[in-house]
């Protein structure tokens, strides 16, 4: 089963923005067995720890903080190798993600309080992980926020994109959280001398690129604490997007391309639209869609939830009207 991680499809989005002068391709990471790009990181983190003797199947306890997707990837890999797994999440984690982790045998602990200084959950999650590590024999934390194996797993992500885009890649749009995907793609591009412009996409209210922390509704991208994996200069440009940007572009993608993507997928597509006027005609752009939209059915894809938080916004993703041309098989 773990051999199915990676080698996800790349598809061209021909209808998402009919006015675009450039070609747009999407890397569909939802096709990983656990449903997200984090399967790549989880497998690399766990296999690396096992090969180094830090994790021993049948004895060790893996403990990690996650908003959901990495937790699912680790739950899946730990179940396969026979390793006990404890995941610390917060109330913003999708209920479906928690249910999937528990179905795979993970022990899920939900912190309920926020950090008194930042008002965020992440510092509380990290402190709780440290407490569990201190009180649990043979416990090990992969530490997705600092472990270099996280970005190393995404050298393959970038290689797959570069090999699949016809004529060569000009722009890559990548959401940021732990900075593992961004750093891994940037490292590969520089090592292989790929002449690509890398655009990091962050959430409004995230501190990764030096902005002030602010409340955020949609998990999966952005961070309340700058991760240790972050390095200055990883991206050629940074775009910050709002929660509404994520919603509108997720719904637009479903409406125009019949692809159900998660919140960070909407974020990268919002960044493409924001920079679209500056992208040269004929350029090849790729976005990484990190996960699947089924995990956001109670939020992004729920009309009542959207209306409660943003008002009547449906016109924003239906502005082009119906698809003009009929599809062919």
pLDDT (tens digit, 0 to 9) for every residue of the chain, 329 residues total?
Answer: 889 999 999 999 999 999 999 999 999 999 999 999 999 999 999 999 999 999 999 999 999 999 789 999 999 999 999 999 999 999 988 888 999 999 999 999 999 999 888 888 888 999 999 999 999 999 999 999 999 999 999 999 999 999 999 999 999 999 999 999 999 999 999 999 999 999 999 999 999 999 998 888 988 889 888 999 999 999 999 999 999 999 999 999 999 999 999 999 999 999 999 999 999 999 999 999 999 999 899 999 999 999 999 999 999 998 655 555 556 66
Residue 10's nearest CA partner among 23, 36, 29 is 29
Which residue(s) pair with 285 in the sheet?
Answer: 24, 171
> What angle, rounded to 10 degrees, do the helices at 243-257 and 303-310 form?
150
Model pTM score:
0.94
Which residue(s) pair with 68 in the sheet?
Answer: none
**Apex CA 252: angle with CA 247 and CA 253, to 5°?**
100
Three-state DSSP state, 197: strand
Provide the b/e sequence for 41-69 (b: ≥16 CB within 10 Å): bbbbbbbbbbeeeebeeeebbbbbbbbbb
- Whole-angstrom Cα distance, residue 236 to residue 268? 15
Q: Are 118 and 127 in contact (CB under 8 A)?
A: no
Residue 159's nearest CA partner among 57, 10, 46 is 10
Q: Are 33 and 76 in contact (CB under 8 A)?
A: yes
């Amino acid at each position: 089963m773990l051999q199915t991680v990676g080698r996800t499809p790349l598809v061209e989005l021909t209808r998402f923005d009919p006015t675009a002068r450039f070609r747009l391709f999407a890397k569909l990471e939802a096709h990983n067995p656990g449903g997200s790009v984090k399967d790549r990181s989880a497998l690399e983190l766990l296999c690396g720890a096992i090969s180094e003797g830090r994790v021993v199947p049948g004895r060790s306890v893996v403990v990690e903080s996650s908003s959901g997707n990495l937790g699912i990837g680790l739950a899946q890999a730990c179940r396969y190798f026979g390793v006990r797994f404890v995941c610390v999440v917060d109330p913003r984690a999708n209920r479906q993600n928690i249910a999937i982790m528990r179905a795979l045998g993970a022990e899920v602990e939900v912190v309920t309080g926020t950090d008194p200084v930042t008002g965020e959950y992440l510092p509380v999650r990290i402190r709780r992980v440290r407490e569990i590590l201190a009180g649990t024999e043979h416990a090990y934390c992969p530490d997705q926020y600092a472990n270099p194996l996280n970005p190393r797993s995404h050298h393959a992500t970038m290689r797959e994109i570069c090999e699949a885009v016809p004529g060569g890649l000009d722009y890559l749009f990548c959401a940021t959280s732990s900075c593992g995907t961004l750093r891994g793609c940037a490292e590969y591009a520089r090592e292989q001398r790929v002449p690509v412009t890398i655009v990091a996409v962050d959430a409004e209210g995230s501190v990764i690129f030096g902005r002030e922390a602010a409340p955020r509704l949609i998990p999966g991208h952005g961070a309340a604490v700058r991760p240790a994996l972050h390095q200055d200069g990883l991206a050629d440009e940074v775009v910050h997007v709002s929660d509404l940007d994520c919603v509108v572009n997720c719904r637009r993608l479903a409406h125009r391309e019949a692809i159900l993507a998660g919140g960070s997928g909407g974020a990268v597509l919002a960044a493409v639209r924001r920079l679209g006027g500056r992208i040269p005609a004929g350029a090849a752009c790729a976005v990484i869609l990190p996960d699947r939209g089924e995990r956001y059915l109670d939020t992004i894809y729920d009309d009542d939830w959207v209306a409660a938080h943003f008002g009547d916004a449906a016109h924003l993703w239906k502005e082009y009207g119906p698809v003009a041309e009929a599809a062919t098989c």
